[in-house]
Structure 1
Amino acid sequence: MQDEELNPGGANSFTPKQAFAAFRRHVHTMVPMGLLLLAAGIVIVSMMPNVYRASTTILVDPQKIPERYVASTITTDLNARLNTLTQQVLSASRLQEIIDRNDLYPKMRQKASREEVIDYMRSKTKIDIKAASEDQGLSSFSITYESENRDLVAKVTNQLAESFIAWNLNARELQAQGTKQFLSGELDEAKKSLEEQESALQAYRLQHAGATPDALTGNLQALSRLQAESQANEDAIGRLDQERILLTQTKSSDPRGMPLTERDRLVQERRRLEGDLSRLRQQFTDSYPDVITVKEQIKEINARLATMPESLAGISEPMDTNTKVRLALIEKELERRHQHKAGLQQQIQSFQGKVDSVPVLETRLAELTRNYEVSRQNYQSLLDKTLSAGMSEELEKKQQAERFTVLDAAKTPEKPVKPARAILFSVVIVAALLFPLGTVLVKELLSGAIRGEAELKEMLTPGIPVLGTIPPIQSKLDFRREWWLRVRTSLLLLLTCTALAIFLLKVRPVL
């Protein structure tokens, strides 16, 4: 049969019967290969280190005392604070302390650097946040730690939980202390400012005592009283002047009156104008036009009187004793009334000045009062906040505020979580069965051997017949060799199974 007579386009077929025949031919190779893979896989999976996991749950216990009685100064979001605590607890210094205390990873520390060991432990630590609801927010969180040391995994987990609780208490207490110290400093500044404003307001009130807006009503009443008293005094002076004029103009011997001189007429006119001026001042200020006119008229009369000689009327004639006594009394009373008038005018001017200065003083007083009220309100607000911060600090010290509580402490695990040996053993068994079968099939497909008459016909050019087939010829040596291979395979299978059974009984891997 020539090569060019073969049909290169023919497809090689591999039937189940041919596959079974191939498996029978290579069974003595497949069994050792499968046993080797099975033994190696079982040994590797059994020798894999056990990884244990311990977990503890920490409950976020809310504040014991209602917030309407004592408000906490810790307003930081719990998730943000938890992230901060996580960074603090999983910091290099804290993890290094736990590693040194429990002598963790002794072999790894001999080969790896300190940072690599810490990163490895950090990768084995996991924190899961559990939220109760959207409104309630964070309710609890769990800390999980994995390690190959079954006896230390729970201990390390509890130490991490204790670190979280201790750091949380310390952070809250420090934050409460910082808030109180800040508010105390601000309160001292506010108190100092309040005292300065109070001193300025008190000094201003003392400087302008009796002239402040709150004394305006009293000043107006006093001014009205003084003006009425001044008017009464003016009336009394007028009556005394008239009586004196009458007495000086009356002769002791002649009952008839003498005519008034120019000087006496001017004196009477001055008295009348002074009475009008007093009445006008009761209603108007000195800048009122009528008041100014009357003043000018009085000034002119005084100037004219100064140029005239004293009146001699009534003096040429002798007066009786009673008239002289009465004139002396009138002069004394006029002198006293004029002195009283001067005093009243001075008091009226003083009170009038106080009344007139009220608008100017009111602006400045309002500014000082406003600054004082602002300082007082600021001081009172800071005082309330400082007292609240002090109670909040005591709340944190007595651990009555929000805190972390261990709900379920970590316990020593009974079984490892890794590796999943049951699954791995199943994979090894399946691989030990399929790998030899696949190897034999691939070898048969790649060998290029003709496996039957039908396959040969597909490969030949149509029209070329198959003359005959030669069956396999086995000699006694072939039978003996086949028998020996079966015995060797059986012994190898028995020995392998026995060795694996002894190994598994000795190692006792946890599934």
Structure 2
Amino acid sequence: MHDIVEQLLGYLRGIWRYRWYALGLAWIVCIAGWVGVQRLPDQFEASARVYVDTQSILRPLLRGLTVDVNTDSQVQLMTRTLLSRPNLEKVARMTDLDLKARDTKQMDELIDGLAKNISLRSAGRENLYSIVYQDRDPQFAKKVVQSLLTIFVENALGETRQDSDSAQRFLDKQIAEYEARLLAAEERVKTFKRQNVGVMPDSGQDHYARMQTLSGQLAAARLELRESEQRRDALSQQIEGELPTFGYGNRSPAADPKRANITLPVDARIQGMQERLDQLLLQFTDKHPDVIAVRQTLADLKKQRDAEMAEITRSMTATASAENDGNGMPVPAGVSNPLYQQLKLTLSQEEANIAAIKVRVQEYESRLTEMQKLVNSVPEIEAQLKALNRDYEVTRQNYDQLLARRESARLSQQAGQTNEDIRFKVIDPPRVPNTPTGPNRLALMTTVFVAGLGAGLVLAFLMSQLRPTFDNRRILTEITSLPVLGSVSMIVSPQVLRRQKIGLISYAGIGAMLVIVYAGLAVAQATGYRFL
């Protein structure tokens, strides 16, 4: 450690011996550098701030109706391509910078100069961008920023509209093609149905399904026919026990409804409801909703039967009272029996119903026979029709989807033309400050000052190494490897000592003057004063 300290002290003593050379070089470098800094031209920085609003109110309103475009990605792409060569060439033309170029090489140099002095700065997620350009001419710098701002806005709107127009043309072309294919498919289906009329499937059923449905309808009609015949036979038997008229002075047993054992149509329903009630009581209690509903229905049916019996009783009573007039004289016999007339009417209606059901059964049998004859040919026709309908449906679905997408593209284009999808808000229009923004002369002068001092120290150190001297006996012994017998001290006279003091004071004063000059220039620069 002691050796290192001794070596450093030796270097410092060597630099001190050549201090005047160091100071002189420092003055030369500082004066030259400061003059150069003062002669640097002023730079004016023009800037503008623009906000790109991608959160439009139309986006949630038109979601699902228009094409969903990632506007944030579009904005990022625009910012990355803003300083592309085509855009810089546009800026050169808009600012008349291209008039200064005589050939392609000069034009390339001008474009490169523009690219170096233009900067696009982002504020992060807020989509707030600053466009900055530096130049000697403040008005030219402002024109460049204005041109970049215009290109930034126009490129966004232009690319969106160009994409929408391309998509619109493509969709129109595809719709025209599918429309022709759809018309051709419709014509094929129409022709096929015309050629095979009468054997076309209906309601989405094939031939076998229709045969099965028709067989079920035929079986139901036959069952209904048997039921109607049974009711007819029962009515015929009941009519045989009734007299068409009531005789004179002799009342038929049928005149008394209770003794005539009359069966009304409602009796069958009452019996069915009673059986239903018995079944429910085997499973549930009296308070079960189904039991309560059936009992209510049964009570209503009984009331209806009592009303019908009362009506029949009134009719029979009126007929019986008509046998005698008010004086007890007999009246002519042959008064009609209303129950007999009602049964006859019901029997006639049942006979007509049976005749209609027989016609229906015959029609079902005829249709089923015809379908059984076509069992081998109709499935082939149905298969061909399904294939035609399938092709038609596929074409129609694609056609409908294209129509919907064209409408979506049209809405997207209209939304883009209203500038509501991406809106540009100029926060700060292009402006140039009154005072120049560069160069930073204070920093440059400080750099020159530090460089001058450093250059002086380097020069003194190099001279001390080129012209070395021995400061003590130890260094001399180490270098020469010879023993040093002794050393002679130098006695400085008062005159020499006085000259050394004067030289030291002069050196300090000249060095202090260099610092003072730097400080004065720095203060002047800070106040905006220039010497040149």
Whether the TM-score (by the shorter chain) exceeds 0.5 is yes
2:400 match: 380
- Pair 1:362 & 2:382 matched: yes
> Structure 1 residues 489, 188: CA separation in 2 closer, same or farther (over 3 Å shift)?
same
Q: Distance in 1 between the 2:398 and 2:23 partners?
A: 93
Tell me what 1:402 maps to: 422
Q: Residue 37 of structure 2 corresponds to which residue in structure 1?
A: 45
Q: Helix, strand or coil for the counterpart of 1:211? A: coil
Q: Which residue of 1 aligns with 2:175?
A: 187
Distance 1:192 1:485 in 2: 106
Aligned to 2:27: 35
Q: CA deviation at 1:354?
A: 5.5
The equivalent residue for 2:185 is 197
Which of 427, 435, 440 is matched with 2:455 structurally?
435
RMSD of the alignment, in Å? 5.0
**Identity, % of aligned positions:** 20
How far the C-alpha of 1:117 sits from its partner, in A, is 1.9
Deviations, residues 348-393 of structure 1 (Å, cap 9, x unaligned): 9987765653212111111111122222212211111111111111
Give the AA of the match of 1:364.
Q
1:119 pairs with 2:107: no
Count of matched residue positions in the alignment of Structure 1 and Structure 2: 372
Q: Residue 435 of structure 1 aligns to a residue in which SS?
A: helix
Counterpart secondary structure, 1:394: helix
Given candidates 166, 183, 204, the residue that maps to 1:178 is: 166
Q: Structure 2 CA distance, aligned partners of 1:393 and 1:460?
A: 94
Q: Does 1:62 align with 2:55?
A: yes
Alpha-carbon distance, 1:163 to partner: 0.3
- Helix, strand or coil at the partner of 1:66: helix
Moved more, 139-148 or 176-185: 139-148
Alpha-carbon distance in structure 2 between the residues aligned to 1:347 and 1:21: 131
Residue 421 of structure 1 corresponds to 441
- The separation in 1 between residues aligned to 2:368 and 2:455, in whole angstroms, is 127
For 2:389 and 2:46, how far apart are their aligned partners in 1? Answer: 70
**CA contact under 8 A between 1:58 and 1:404: conserved in structure 2?**
yes
5 Å matches for 1:35-434? 35-51=27-43, 52=45, 54-67=47-60, 69=62, 71-73=65-67, 75=69, 78-79=72-73, 82-83=76-77, 86-87=80-81, 89-104=82-97, 113-128=106-121, 132=125, 139-214=127-202, 357-413=377-433, 418-434=438-454
SS in 2 for 1:126: strand
Contact 2:477 2:483 in 1 (8 A): no
Distance in 2 (alpha carbons) for counterparts of 1:439 and 1:418: 32
What code does the residue aligned with 1:126 have? S
Residue 434 of structure 1: CA displacement? Answer: 3.9
The 3 A distance-change label for structure 1 pair 56 and 108 is: farther
Deviations 1:449-497 (A, max 9, x none): 3446676677777765337434356989x98999799889979997997
How far, CA to CA, are the matches of 2:434 and 2:477 in structure 1? Answer: 66
My pick for the range that moved more, 499-508 or 162-171, is: 499-508
Counterpart of 2:426 in 1: which secondary structure?
Answer: strand
Task: Letter of the 2:163 partner, please give it.
Answer: Q
TM-score (normalizing by structure 1): 0.57
CA contact (8 A) 1:12 1:455 kept: no
Distance 1:413 1:81, change over 3 A: same
Counterpart-to-counterpart distance in 1, 2:178 and 2:194: 24
Shift of the 79–119 alpha-carbon distance from structure 1 to 2, 3 Å rule, reads: farther
Kept after mapping to 1: 8 A contact 2:14/2:460: no
Q: Residues 263-315 of structure 1: CA distance to partner in whole angstroms, max 9, x if unpaired?
A: xxxxxxxxxxxxxxxxxxxxxxxxxxxxxxxxxxxxxxxxxxxxxxxxxxxxx
Q: Which runs of 5+ in 1 are unaligned?
A: 1-9, 133-137, 229-345
- 68 and 381 in structure 1: CA distance in 2 versus 1, 3 angstrom threshold: farther
Unaligned runs of 5+ in 2: 223-365
Alignment correspondent of 1:326: none
Cα 1:56–1:474 shift into 2, 3 Å: same
Q: 1:16-35 to 2 correspondence within 5 Å? A: 23=16, 28-35=20-27
C-alpha deviation, 1:130, in angstroms: 5.5
Amino acid at match of 2:38: S
Q: Distance in 2 between matches of 1:21 and 1:448?
A: 8
